[in-house]
A and B are shown apart, each in its own frame.
Chain A
Amino acid sequence: MSFSFLKFRKIPLAWLLLTRQPLRLAVAIAGISFAGILMFMQLGFRDGLFDTSVTIHKLLDADLVLISPRSKSSISMSGFPKRRLIQTLAIEDVEKTAPVNLNYLLWRNPENLKTRSILALGFNPSDSLLLDEGFSKKAYKLRNPSRVLFDKLSRPEFGPIEEWFLSEKKVETEVAGKRVIVEGLVELGPSFGADGNLITSRETFLRLFPANPTGSIEIGLVKLKKGSDPEMISRILNNSLPNDVRVLTKKQFIEFEKSYWKNSTAIGFIFSLGALMGFVVGCVVVYQILYSDVTDHLPEYATLLAMGYRLKSLFFVVAREGFLLALFGYLPAYFSGQILYSVIRSSTKLPIIMDADKTILIFVLVLVMCMGSAAVAMRKLVDADPAEIF
């Protein structure tokens, strides 16, 4: 092994060509890093904004979700008969179900008395709604009528609810013109559609929103027995239930919401365009660096050709330069991205995270950017005429 390594080891020409001019190398790394950071930020914002639209979706304690086929997103949910949810219990793999009502209601800020739209979820307090382990204890308090749990991550325009609640002050306000008492706090987070959230019992929900038929629900949560295949059960249910309901796995339910925001808003396009701009800037920087590098070293490349080196070998040298630039440019971009994501998370509460998909995608983009630019710069190598060096 070590023998083979020594046999094929060569002088690191690409590395030496790059590092011969440290200032130029530093400029190249800075340029590539800048492009990388720009892509990290744009894609981070895009994914972060899309993720905010599914914060509640992710927290739901369910393997399958039933919705109306007419529902477009959480901001335009249609109802379907609650009995469809009961029908799912006919399948052996279904462990339990939970009907959920969801709609926007007007919340009155108890401090300045201004009203604002809030997303309200109504469920049976004895059911499991959220994955949060401490939630069932809080849900128990909703058995009394007109009690709500307020999302403490809601925007401040809803009033100093958390502050008042923690100071053990009785928090009382109006929702849809009816009096409610805040019995606890939950952490859900605002989304595209909702600046704030509240959770209440179905009984209270129907009292706050009497127009909603009692037998109609917007979301049906289905919990499967351990070891069940959600995709298979979802297929079975979709085939067996009438067409007035649609069965999605939790993952599909999250994608259903995200795709609405991706396709119905310009957010995806704007941030993808921003990332593309970063990519183009990076391409221009790397191309300029590699092109001047090849031009500067043209007599040296011609000398190597005269000595008997193949043009292909020289292409590999430029390609290796491109690869090294990609590596050195990506690493600072990655670490800067981590720091900036952390700053943005703490200051905006946006769920912007450095996940594996983004890490790999941007590395691939940086690599394509550098190798593509190297490939274009290689064309200049063809100009290296060994006959001209005499």
Chain B
Amino acid sequence: MVKANKSKNNVKNLKTVSINNLSHFYGKNENKKQVLNDVNLNIDKGELVLLKGPSGCGKTTLLTLIGALRTCQSGDLTVLNNQLNGASRKTRQILRRSIGMIFQGHNLLRCLTAEQNVQMGADLIKGLTYLQRREIARNWLSAVGLEEHHKKLPNDLSGGQKQRVAIARALSANPKLLLADEPTSALDSVTGREIVSLLRKLAKEQNCSVLMVTHDPRITDMADRILNMEDGKIYSAHSELI
């Protein structure tokens, strides 16, 4: 499938995400509700895109579709050269290994130390020894400034520290795309900016695209592009329908 897409359109290789007329529905028959309405969107390599919009407008649905967590129902959705409309469960599972995810609630494994949590990401890289994977985890913890806290369990870390661990975990598997859902919502403004600044720096270093859903007005100046979403449609920052 990847091969076919490559020969079909080389332009797509420059895009991390390419969406054409994507629609998505929840429910059936009378209860059927459209949450995404002919969405069109491209995200370039290394680009940091902020997605804003009121609750229930379809941001999270779009994020989960791009993250290969849901089955695509209608339209074209190409992520890292993989067409996800009609993709098998196995294809989506393998693709997810190339996508880093940062969740609002951190979702760290409570029984693992900070280092082990990050290593769970690095463990997805094939061909490395245990020591190499641990080294990667330590380096990423060091990159997010938490090398001294590597033995701590999530419960012993502050909200900001947990989010840094989550970022390190997401980046440790060498993702080509990072999806973040409100990563700063539980943080104070200084920490929030620090986290996004760190995310931007590390993503740029790895040539990794970032799509971040946020309501936080304090970080908008750090994005390459800002998109608004309303009623299942995406608009540019200047309210133009894309």
Contact = CB atoms under 8 A, between A and B. Distances in A.
B111 interface: yes
B112 A16 contact: yes
A308 B120 contact: no
Contacts of A386: 69, 96
A310 B103 contact: no
Interface string A144-188: 000000000000000000000000000000000000000000000
B47 interface: no
A10 B96 contact: no
Interface stretch (B34-42, B59-67, B185-193): B59-67
A309 B98 CA distance: 12
A297 B129 CA distance: 27
Interface residues of A, number: 27
A300 B96 contact: no
A11 B103 contact: no
B129 A7 contact: yes
B123 A306 contact: no
A390 B111 contact: no
Contact of B97 (A299, A303, A307): A307
Contacts of B104: 390
A301 B151 CA distance: 22
A231 B111 CA distance: 60
A19 B105 CA distance: 24
A1 to B, nearest CB: 13
Interface in A18-46: 19-20
Contacts of A304: 109, 120
Contacts of A307: 96-97, 101, 120-121, 124, 169, 173
Contacts of A7: 128-130
Nearest to A310: B93
B124 A303 contact: no
B238 to A, nearest CB: 27
Determine the main DSSP class of A at the interface with B: helix
B107 A10 contact: no
Contact of B111 (A8, A17, A309, A389): A17
A133 B186 CA distance: 85
Given A390-B63, A390-B103, A20 B111 contact: yes
Contacts of B98: 308
Contacts of B67: 306, 390
Interface in B99-157: 99, 101, 103-105, 107, 109-112, 116, 119-121, 123-124, 128-131
Contacts of A11: 112, 116, 119-120, 123
B110 A10 contact: no
B181 interface: yes
Interface residues of B, number: 35
Interface in A296-318: 297, 299-300, 303-310
B241 interface: no
Interface string B2-35: 0000000000000000000000000000000000
A308 B103 contact: no
Contacts of A17: 111
Contact of B130 (A6, A303, A387): A6
Contacts of A303: 103, 107, 109
B94 interface: yes
A137 interface: no
A306 B99 CA distance: 9
B70 interface: yes
Interface in A230-289: none
Given A17-B111, A390-B63, A6 B101 contact: no
A366 to B, nearest CB: 25
Nearest to A301: B109
B129 A3 contact: yes
A389 B107 contact: yes
Nearest to A309: B124
B113 to A, nearest CB: 9
A308 B107 contact: no
A308 B124 contact: yes
Interface of B: 60, 63-64, 67, 69-70, 93-99, 101, 103-105, 107, 109-112, 116, 119-121, 123-124, 128-131, 169, 173, 181
21 contacts: A7-B129, A11-B116, A11-B120, A16-B112, A16-B116, A300-B109, A300-B110, A303-B107, A303-B109, A305-B93, A305-B96, A306-B69, A306-B96, A306-B101, A307-B120, A307-B121, A308-B93, A389-B107, A390-B67, A390-B103, A390-B181
Interface of A: 3, 6-11, 13, 16-17, 19-20, 297, 299-300, 303-310, 386-387, 389-390
Given A6-B129, A307-B169, A387-B69, 15 more contacts: A6-B130, A6-B131, A7-B129, A7-B130, A16-B112, A16-B116, A19-B111, A300-B107, A303-B109, A306-B101, A307-B96, A307-B173, A389-B105, A390-B67, A390-B103
Give the top 8 A-B pairs by smallest Cβ distance, nearest first: A308-B97, A20-B111, A308-B96, A9-B130, A387-B69, A303-B107, A16-B111, A387-B64
